[in-house]
Structure 1
Amino acid sequence: MRKEPATRRKRVACAVYTRKSTDEGLEQEFNTLHAQREACEAFIASQRHEGWQALTAHYDDGGYSGGTMDRPALKRLLDDIAAGKIDIVVVYKIDRLTRSLFDFAKIVEIFEAKAVSFVSVTQAFNTTTSMGRLTLNVLLSFAQFEREVTSERIRDKIAASKQKGMWMGGAVPLGYDAIDRKLKVNAEEAKTVRLLFTLYLKLGSVRALHAECHRLGLKTKERTLLDGRRIGGKPVSHGHLYLILSNRLYIGRIPHKGRSYEGEHEAIIDPETWEKVQAQLATNAGRQRGRTSSKHPSLLAGLLFTAEGVPFTPSHAVNHGRRYRYYIERSLLKPGAATERKTSSPANYESEDGLQARGWRLPAHEIEKLVLTRLCGFLRDRGALLKALPLKHKSPDAVSAIFARAQKLAEMCDAGSVADQVEIVAAHVQRIIVAQDRIAIEVDRTALAARLFNKDAVPASEVRKRGAITVDVPVKFRRRGVEAKLVVLDRKHPAAEPDAALVKTLARAHVWFGQIVRGEADGIGAIARAERLDRAYVTRMICLAFLAPEITKAALEGRQPTGLTAKRLIRSALKMPLLWTDQVDMFRC
């Protein structure tokens, strides 16, 4: 009697996908793509008894980031899946397929539609099971945590290095050369820098200095890029002169986030010359600010600077007949552009000093209101005045009179005319430093003491010795288009009421995700059917379960950024980045 042959197992077509973020080392005979494929094929061979067979087609993406779906081999892989040619996708690690949670959700949806499984060789699981999906989300969360911790370490290292006076790279300023990652004085260029400081004190204005530089034929620093191109060597502009005259590197200091530290490099300018130049710059800025003939005066013109000393320039845009005023960082203005001009978008250009320009555009009304509010608050704060002014030898009556004058000055600053506000700011504010996490308002201690002490004797030596009064405002800037939205981080202000719709949206996101994790719902489609909702809507909602804890907590406490509503959050969910820090940048206004 003839024996029937054993039933053959169905052939399972396995596609191996490999990826490397950079093209470094791909020219080698055996590179990382080969190593990934070899490991995957060995795993497939171990499952031969299940009918697994590796396809001969190669899906290799060398030099492509996992943060994008725009990869040629990945596109071919998805096309072949759609054509029914693949049963299982095998990768070395999950992040070889994607680093984006949203992209992975889209890929899994394609896999599920064609009943395709996904297997990771070194993280043994597949996405056809709820446990596999849970494992994946946990792994991605830890990967995100690791990347954020790494970013924090880098930021902390930069801050610590600058506090020790180390130069941390960037465009090398005129007067120095970068040798072994340290700034060394370039003798010839240093002569030019000293000449600029001397001429400014002699001529008295940047406009006159610019004309003299043009006559002398002075040029910006020449640099050679990695690709061999030479940049710089162009005529010095007004903005470049302001940058040089206010750059604390020239007195041997390293600036960082509104502060500066003693640097390792040699100073080019002596402290006495530096102080004279800064005093002249402040005097000229005060004269310019004192002009109130404009219909819309720029209250802070000449006062705003970045932490690196880059000035902000008044500008405006007209939209639908309405005029919007801004303070624009110098890097957004093309060389030679007028300081007051219509602008609606930032410019990316290579400036005369070789920097790739990219900066901030601050709404004038918001920053001016903030400065006036904090200045008024300081003048009304008796404790702050006691610390800032030499009042310990004054009689109680004299101190009361000084407080009364401060209160009157605060009322003028708060509710006075535009001319009053311009006069107060011009007379008492020396400089405003705009950093990523704070705004530092530097108040002229001598001018304020003279104003408040009235006819009383002012201990000038003690006042001058203590320098300017710094009023710090903790803030964060969030880019909205080309505009920077200012968010004040002041704990003294009471929290707003939570947005009920926003809280409900976040709660539903976590409930639905929990149902999938616990196996109570068989995927997104099941939830959509049960809730009688569109599948795409449920997908967007579940993405919100991975929202940064900082944003979720702010929403629950009513501290969410202005403009962050449930509708906006749902609409933006599909664009939500993986990193929590990037999410905060995206959703904060």
Structure 2
Amino acid sequence: MKPTAIYSRKSKFTGKGESTANQIDLCREYIALHSGKEAARTALIFEDEGFSGGNLNRPAFQQMLSAARNHEISSIVVYRLDRISRNISDFSTLIEELSRLNVAFISIREQFDTGSPMGRAMMYIASVFSQLERETIAERIRDNMHELAKTGRWLGGNTPTGYCSESVQTITVDGKSRKSCKLKLLPEEGELVRKIYSLYAQTDSLSKTEAELRRQNIKTKTGRDFTRFAVRNILQNPVYLLADQEAYQYFTENEAELCSSPADFDSTHGILAYNRTDQEKGRATVYLPVNEWIVTVGQHEGLIPGREWVKVQESLEQNRSKSYRKPRSNQALLTGLLFCSCGSRMYPKVSKRLNKEGQLVYSYVCKCKEHSQGSQCAQKNVSGNRLDAAVLEEIKGLTEDKAAFVEQLEKSKSFYSGDRTGYDERLAGLRKKCADVETKLTALVDSLAELDSTAAKNQVAKRIDELSGQQETLQTRITELEGLTAQNELSAEEFDILVQMLSSFRTTIDLLSVEEKRAAIRTVVQKVVWDGDAAHVVLFGAEGDVGYTTIPDLSQSSEDSK
């Protein structure tokens, strides 16, 4: 008898109310009542905490769906319908697929069971109301944005470089006197913002601006090196834009929703724009077009004249359209495994030249060297074609002792077969820390409005910046771990095939595709470190036994290394 799956979800971690644990307990009770205690005991649990019901891009949900597709479960039980999805299209597609797979879907709260025609019909009707609720919430949020925009308030969160948050007394649109926050200019950081705009105007390049900031050892407000992404975020942010006539014309021509009159554009204050981004857990932030922004003149002081800011936006757009695109036919095998001895990753840079074998010539370049244009790392580039070939030859040598080689592969089996309890625990811990930091940030931002002492405000603002840096670091690590586990997971059968394939590596390597070669290398090699003269290959899962190989004469000519 196939087990039943229990799915629970909650958008935010609160530890109370309809928590995922409470949902699971209620589902177990339902299963015990209708199918027996043994069925409740053996039910498979899938839970997502901190994920929206707006779509199906949730890790535990996708695992449950895979189990259904592999015919490993007989039914899915949820506490409430909207725990699955609030989107009609997603929901109807899911129910149709589960029906094809003969997997029943049961919602306790609504008492729906897709095992019957009436249950399926009622499920679709309920999903319509779920989507209506979601769209009503979205509309209410947008209406709230309009009301907030009329006040020119700073709503909290990470303050942009150049400003801190301070509390002010204001009259809100409902006529009540309340404390709220506005941005206060920090002169020293404001000069840094002006410097970044000036450097970009001179170079017309994000990379060159980044390199010059690194050369001058100028750090972000969290004490880190600038990246071109951080530079671009500052250049794109309308908070620095002076509310002058050029700004008014720009937003009018781009059909943004303006909540300020032409007279409010006084060439003194800055701009606040709401609804600039579409943020969803698990994917990169999407920047919305200007015609979807809700724009108002803020209470803070602006920094960059409209003509200059608009010119920068036009330049960014032009450069984006002609920027480098990663080749679809990338032949590099060590991407993600290769590190420079300075600690930075190395990535392939493809030329337009061909070697004697008719392959595109590519080099591996240190990311730190490239971003700083040699001011922070001057390591030589390494020939990608030759290094990849040398690593493959090294693996061929390992396969000569087949018994030892297969034993080495078995050490990595748990990682590649999906049994990664350690990784799952680390991910759960990181997500919990990230949620805790978010809670602290929210509390600190809210407390600013209640503080009267300037010294206390500065202390709180400093702590907010520290926590923002911690949150950014945690989110980066979460993304890395999620990507690592997702892209390396193999079924037991796939792993056994890979072992067989690698056991005859010497004779089959030339027959493999690029993707198969990458998978083969990642099963054996943990990382490769380039020191400018030699490549050091570290075997995966060798439990302290590090294998090195010196591969000389792979550095590029001095001309290519620039």
TM superposition score category, shorter chain reference = 0.3 to 0.5
Give the greater-gyration-radius structure (CA): 1
Taking structure 1 as the reference length, the TM-score comes to 0.34
Taking structure 2 as the reference length, the TM-score comes to 0.36
Q: RCO greater where, 1 or 2, for CA within 8 Å and sep 6 or more?
A: 2
